[in-house]
Amino acid sequence: MHIHILGICGTFMGSLALLAKQAGHQVSGSDANVYPPMSTQLEESGIQLIEGFDPQQLRPAPDLVVVGNAMSRGNPCVEYMLDNRLAYTSGPQWLGENILRDKHVLAVSGTHGKTTTSSMLAKVLDSAGLQPGFLIGGIPQDFGISARLSDSDYFVVEADEYDSAFFDKRSKFVHYFTNTLLINNLEFDHADIFDDLASIQRQFHHLVRTVPSTGAVISPSFDANVSAVLDQGCWSSQESFGDHDGDWKYALISGDGSQFDVIQSDQAGHELSRGTVKWAHSGLHNVMNGLSAVIAAHQVGVKVEQACAALSEFVGVKRRMEVIYQGPGITVYDDFAHHPTAIKTTLEGLRAKVGSETIIAIIEPRSATMRMGAHQVALSASVGSADQVYWYQNAAVDWDVGALGKASLVSTQSTDSIEILLELALKSVAPNRHIVVMSNGGFEGFHAKLTAALSS
């Protein structure tokens, strides 16, 4: 079957393309912006990429058009597809019906940490010999690929709450036939499709409704927003986690989160099992991600000690505090953070790791929610662990990014020029410097320009 994917270079759709290719289909696709690492991954897999949406790409007609959720009415390919009655579906629906229906699906959801936690869970299951299939909205460095099809009974999927397509406004995750559900956290996000937190919680409860009674829902004991979802009704077994209460707890051994214990207890509080994670990562957010991955793996028979040993070898995910340059006294990280909480926890984790060394954050408010200005107040407070912040005002941001500095206790500067931003970053170069570049897009090639300038 020839499957053509519109919007193929998004993290989800690119991963979907890999699965379709591995399933034996002829796969092609197009997008408006084709950039690494997804474009590289697709090309290396033998998938034809087309830049732009000229309807000529749909002649002769493919057997099926899979439509990404970034596509909308008015797109030339979408209009041609509809006018000529081509067979089409959404990405999540294709994934559910063709890949997930007959698997034990472990779905990782929540506002933050989905990609990292999914990667951790896939690593743990793989280390236990279960060889899971997976689809992750990023590239786990432990596997080098964002999606894998296998003969295993198990499949790990990053379960996104974003809508499925222009013709299906349900969240992606309702299509996934989930057996083990992780809800790591819940905050307001995606202001372009959700009016408020309650509308997001409604979608999460739709997801909870799809988990069978033989399945499990894993959630933090301390997150009131998640608890409000489960209070609407849950028909599956529940596992809770936290630092003081819940069925599962963590105990920090080192303050930066690079070493911690995972403890399973019974309802009376008696310890049932314990394992220790000692890894190269930092931050309480990563501790929580790792803890939830251990719990999910335990649901399918992986022992706590075995899961913790696997996590201790976890390499990480591309664009999640990925070190992209290291020189004498300076380290540059590429990070995907695009929500105030993610920015805050990431910088706090780095601060705990590097102590008094200088942290410089270079941030592009690029997500739809950020571009709309929905998080302006929280953004100012999110960078408190940095010593210097440079904000980039891209053309799509219609509010004054420079105003963030007025409410910030951290030295702040903004610019709408990539060249000036590069100059500011290079002026910051000195011993014991950590530069964190944060964006959920290509950042107009800034990463490559910065690393090239530093290398020269």
Query: Domain end: 32, 61, 86, which one?
Result: 86
Q: Mean pLDDT, to the nearest integer, of 308-333?
A: 90
Based on the fold, state whether residues 204 and 157 are members of the same structural domain: yes
Based on the fold, state whether residues 130 and 279 are members of the same structural domain: yes
Q: Mean pLDDT, to the nearest integer, of 374-387?
A: 77
Model confidence over 442-453: pLDDT tens digits? 788 899 999 998
Model confidence over 223-249: pLDDT tens digits? 999 999 999 999 999 999 987 777 899
The residues that bridge with 263 in the sheet, in sequence order, are 249, 274
Residues in the chain: 456
| Residue 391 · residue 414 · CB < 8 Å | yes
Based on its alpha-carbon atoms, the radius of gyration of the chain, rounded to whole angstroms, reads: 22
Q: For residue 41, what is the DSSP state?
A: H
Q: Mean pLDDT, to the nearest integer, of 15-23?
A: 95
Residue 316 belongs to a domain? no
Residue 421 belongs to a domain? yes
Query: Domain end: 279, 311, 343, which one?
Result: 311
Residue 179 belongs to a domain? yes
Based on the fold, state whether residues 183 and 235 are members of the same structural domain: yes
- Residue 357, Cβ density class (10 Å: 0-12 exposed, 13-18 middle, ≥19 buried): middle
Residue 437 belongs to a domain? yes
* CA neighbor of 200 nearest in space, from 238, 228, 240: 228
Based on the fold, state whether residues 195 and 164 are members of the same structural domain: yes
CATH of the domain at 40: 3.40.50.720
Q: How many domains does the chain have?
A: 3
* CA neighbor of 306 nearest in space, from 108, 130, 71: 130
Based on the fold, state whether residues 183 and 67 are members of the same structural domain: no
Predicted local distance difference test score (pLDDT) of residue 382: 85
Based on the fold, state whether residues 326 and 443 are members of the same structural domain: yes
Based on the fold, state whether residues 356 and 306 are members of the same structural domain: no
Residue 317 belongs to a domain? no
Residue 128 belongs to a domain? yes
Predicted local distance difference test score (pLDDT) of residue 237: 97
Model confidence over 48-80: pLDDT tens digits? 999 999 999 999 999 999 999 999 999 999 999
Confidence grade of residue 384 (pLDDT, cut at 50, 70, 90): confident
Residue 99 belongs to a domain? yes
pTM: 0.84
Q: Which domain holds residue 20?
A: 2-86
Confidence grade of residue 3 (pLDDT, cut at 50, 70, 90): very high
Based on the fold, state whether residues 14 and 139 are members of the same structural domain: no
pLDDT of residue 169 exceeding 90, the answer is yes
Q: For residue 174, what is the DSSP state?
A: G
Predicted local distance difference test score (pLDDT) of residue 352: 86
